[in-house]
Each structure stands twice: as C-alpha cells, then as structure tokens.
Amino acid sequence: MESALSKLRNIPPVTRFLTLSLLILTTTTRLNLLSASQLAYEQSLVFSKFELWRLYTSFFLGSPRLAFIFEAIVLYLTASRLESLSGPYGYKSGDLAWQLFLASAAIIPASYPDSESVIFLRPLLLCIIYLYSMLVPPGTQISYFGLITFPVRYLPYILLALELLADGPWRVAQALPGAIIGHLWWWGVWKTRTLEEMGRAPKWLATWFGDRTGSLTEEGPGSMGTGIQVIPPRSRTQPSSGSWRGTGQRLGGG
C-alpha cells in the first residue's frame, strides 16, 4: 500500500488530478453510486439551479466498456509527457493547470449548441493531444499499440477518423471543439505568444505548485520526458543503424 502511494505521489500533480478524476468519477457511475445524468453538463441546471459541480464532473466521465480504458491511458500518457521534468511544462505545473482551466472553460461554449446535456471528456482529450502533437519536434513518430508508426502531428486527425468510423459524424462533431481550442492554445501561448501572459498562472497557484519563474517558451518543448513512445526525426548526418528511439511506452502499451 505504501509503495502504491509513493508511486502515486511521483506522478506529476496535474496529471495525477486529471487521471484520478477520470477514474473515480467514471467508477462511481459504473457502480451506480451516481448516475451520469447527475454529473453531465446541463446548461439550465448549472445556471438556473446552480449545480456548479457539473462544470467539473462533465469533463471526467468515461465512455462505456473498454473505450474508457483507452481514454484513461491516453489521458495519463499525454498529460504526463507535457508535465514531465524534461517536457514543455516541466517545473510549470501551475501554468499547465491554469491553461487547462482556460481551455476547459472555452470548450463549453465552443460545443454549443450541443451543450444542453453533454460530457466533455472527448473534447478535453483531443485538446490535450493536439497541443502535445504540436509541441514535439517536427517529424517525430509515434508507435500505436506497436502495430503502426506515424508522425505525431497526425495523431489528432487519426483519432477523429477513428471517432468517425466507430460512432459516426455526430461523435466527431462533439470532439472537434477540443481540436479547435487545442490549436488556439498552441498558437496563442507557444507559436505567437499573444496569449502567453494570459496563460501564466496566478502567483498563488504558481507558488502552490512550486513553479520555477520565467517564461514557458524560453526553454522550449524539451525532450517530452517519458510515456508514449516517440521516435525523434532522424538527423541527416546520422547513420540509420544509430537512430535513437528514446525511452518510454507505446501508445496503448503497458
């Protein structure tokens, strides 16, 4: 038990919060302790009856059956890569938490008119994945369940294609706002820096997380830490037998 708690404490704080929120809230509905209808976002209930918890719980309700396992794995691996010490938000968990809050707040109106009764996990996942895909070095490859390898930049679009094949256009329409917000996040904070000041965590939040001072974009994306197995673009002067494949796990792997 003590070993498990120690491992839990070693998970970056924002990643830990996201993953535990998904696991706990989804398990609660699976055990019928609460129904999804009590936790999903409903605009009239939030703003008329002040059921404000729905603003949080609606982002962490997983899909039925095995799809939930895939969602939990992808959320954990992608968030931990962003927040790892060598990643773009290394020692900047406060900034990541604040920017996730702003992104989540933007996803709700971006999902209108499909926001009367909805769960926002898929848009949130796609938002985080889009940001991750834009911060890795161009040409970086990702291994999907050890079966196929493709550029990380294509990952959001491949996931949308899988949504289309599995559940049809309506599921793509639900997830698409996440990609839009993810693009604005990357463009505003990292690409043009026009939203960099807005994306900086309030001082109290940065202090609480123990963030280092300085700009997020000063150090760049870094090597993205551990987690999903990525294959960096091969240097032109590097022999093919010496290509580095990094450390970590394949997407969906153990």
In this prediction, residue 253 carries a pLDDT of: 46
Query: pLDDT by residue for the chain (254 residues), tens digit each?
Result: 677 788 888 999 999 999 999 999 999 999 999 999 999 999 999 999 999 999 999 999 998 888 899 899 999 999 999 999 888 999 999 999 999 999 999 999 998 766 566 899 999 999 999 999 999 988 888 876 677 788 889 999 988 998 899 888 988 999 999 999 999 999 999 999 999 999 999 999 999 999 987 777 655 554 443 334 444 444 433 333 332 233 333 454 44
10 Å CB burial of residue 89 (0-12, 13-18, 19+) is buried
Handedness of CA 195, 217, 55, 130 (dihedral sign): positive
Bridge partner list, 249: 228
Q: Are 40 and 61 in contact (CB under 8 A)?
A: yes
Residue matched to tokens 């997983």: 62
Domain positions in the chain are 2-242
Rounded (10°) CA dihedral 124, 126, 129, 131: -80
Degrees (nearest 5) of the Cα angle 141, 218, 203? 115
